[in-house]
Amino acid sequence: MPNITVTSLLAMKQKGEKITMLTCYDATFAHTASQAGVEVLLIGDSLGMVLQGHDSTLPVTTAETAYHVACVKRGNQGAMILADLPFMANATLEQTFINSATLMQAGAHMIKVEGAAWLGESIRLLA
């Protein structure tokens, strides 16, 4: 599978093609999913509940997410890697920048932030 980029995702959208995304936490599943043609692999903060046994996503840290991003990167065969920015990892612009950079250094191509209008400055910073 060729490397998926933002440009290739936009082209798929413009053609009306479906884009597949799966949540993934490890190299083995990343390899299997990307070989099967999944375009985007999401490392979600849901790892706190699915893998760590927490009752919510709130305890997940940037370091824990970065670990799983790195695992997924090692198994990936061309899919785009999207990582959740954990809860309160974007409380300030500086935190947003540092935590996003940490996830990108681990192998994320895109960062997903959750919130509302107050995130406008953070989105502009990351764009």
What is the distance between the alpha carbons of residues 82 and 22, in angstroms, rounded to a whole number?
10
Is residue 60 a contact partner of residue 87, using CB atoms and an 8 Å limit? yes
84 in any annotated domain: yes
16 in any annotated domain: no
Q: What is the pLDDT of residue 117?
A: 73
Q: What is the pLDDT of residue 2?
A: 72
Is residue 45 a contact partner of residue 86, using CB atoms and an 8 Å limit? yes
1 in any annotated domain: no
Model pTM? 0.91
Low-confidence residues of the chain: pLDDT under 50: none
CATH number of domain containing 120: 3.20.20.60
Q: How many separate domains does the chain show? A: 1
What is the distance between the alpha carbons of residues 126 and 28, in angstroms, rounded to a whole number?
30
Full residue range of the structural domain in which residue 66 is found: 6-11+21-126
The string of pLDDT tens digits covering residues 58-71 is: 999 999 999 999 99
